[in-house]
A and B are shown apart, each in its own frame.
Chain A
Amino acid sequence: AQRVTQPEKLLSVFKGAPVELKCNYSYSGSPELFWYVQYSRQRLQLLLRHISRESIKGFTADLNKGETSFHLKKPFAQEEDSAMYYCALTPMDSNYQLIWGAGTKLIIKP
């Protein structure tokens, strides 16, 4: 079955500390992986996708097919990073369906 797992519902770190939001997936084919973010009182929006291999707002994520993971990392957390983060997967045989993790709430303490 296709599934995305975010094991941490809540992650709290101090400003300046490294951050790693975990995402594991279950899918037999080649997926496209995404991280979406929802800041307080704002709409859900794309943060980054694995095929772009880019760093957005200091965040990076590497697709590890061996471990079926797509963890989101940032070396030095900032207070404005506090938000809800969702990992999502699109099966390559479907143009439309995004399979979502349950989300991780990230709190950056001053």
Chain B
Amino acid sequence: ETGVTQTPRHLVMGMTNKKSLKCEQHLGHNAMYWYKQSAKKPLELMFVYNFKEQTENNSVPSRFSPECPNSSHLFLHLHTLQPEDSALYLCASSQARGAVNTEAFFGQGTRLTVV
């Protein structure tokens, strides 16, 4: 599949579980992002990776741990989450060139429910 692919599409986990979200892009982009989309809130940027290096961490709790093994793959490792962490988690990628940030391409998201 071309574009940005996220797995799984749906995930239900207990507060003591450990799980991982996966994102894959085959667009040749050099930047990848994790966003959280909650009801009634703007999209929240969580992490940014550029050329596999984490360049931003928007004060995200340590129970969320990102990993970017290469420029095509991005993971979000989850452990001891809280019910308020239930949300749609979106992955995106873009090709940033100098001062111009090209459009972000999004995956379809993982709907996470913490019980």
Count residues of B near A (Cβ-Cβ below 8 Å).
27
A32 to B56, CA, bound (A): 19
> Contacts A44-B90, A86-B43, A92-B99 hold; do A98 and B108 have CB atoms under 8 A apart?
no
> Contacts A34-B103, A43-B107, A46-B103 hold; do A97 and B42 have CB atoms under 8 A apart?
no
Give a binary string over A73-109; 1 marks a CB under 8 Å from any B CB, 0 the rest: 0000000000000100010101111101111000000
Main secondary structure of the interface of A (DSSP, over half): loop
A90 to B33, CA, bound (A): 14
Count residues of A near B (Cβ-Cβ below 8 Å).
22
A50 to B94, CA, bound (A): 18
Q: Which residues of B lie under 8 Å from residue A49 when comparing CB positions? A: 103
- In the assembled complex, the CB of A107 is this many whole angstroms from the nearest CB of chain B, namely 17
Q: Within the complex, which residue of A86, A97, A102 is in contact with B45, where a contact is CB–CB below 8 Å?
A: A97
Report the nearest A residue to B50, measured CB to CB: A96
A66 to B104, CA, bound (A): 27
Binding site for A on B (CB under 8 A): 4, 31, 33, 40-43, 45, 48, 50, 55-56, 90, 92, 94, 96, 98-101, 103-109
